[in-house]
Amino acid sequence: MGRKISDGHFGSSSVVVASPEKVIMIKCRECAKLNEEDPKFCQECGKAL
């Protein structure tokens, strides 16, 4: 989850900073395109991942 940052100089204003998400990518054996984890087929060449 993000963390809240407040700046005392500007009263009660605050900014919420989101935590980075880890993205898992799978490299196609045929064309070497990086695909997201969910698809069963390469988004570039259509071969099965």
CA dist 34 and 19 (Å) reads 23
The predicted model scores a pTM of 0.52
DSSP designation for 12: T
* Averaged pLDDT, 11-36: 78
* Averaged pLDDT, 6-19: 54
CA dist 36 and 1 (Å) reads 22
pLDDT at 7 over 70: no
- Cβ-proximal residues to 32 (8 Å cutoff; 6+ apart), any chain: none
How many structural domains comprise the chain? 1
* Averaged pLDDT, 25-46: 94
Residue 34 lies in a domain: yes
In 3-state terms, what secondary structure has residue 49?
coil
Q: What is the pLDDT of residue 42?
A: 96
Residue 27 lies in a domain: yes
* Averaged pLDDT, 2-28: 65
Domain that holds residue 48: 22-49
Residue 17 lies in a domain: no
Pick the residue with more confidence: 13 or 25? 25
Q: Which helix (H) or strand (E) holds 35?
A: strand 34-36
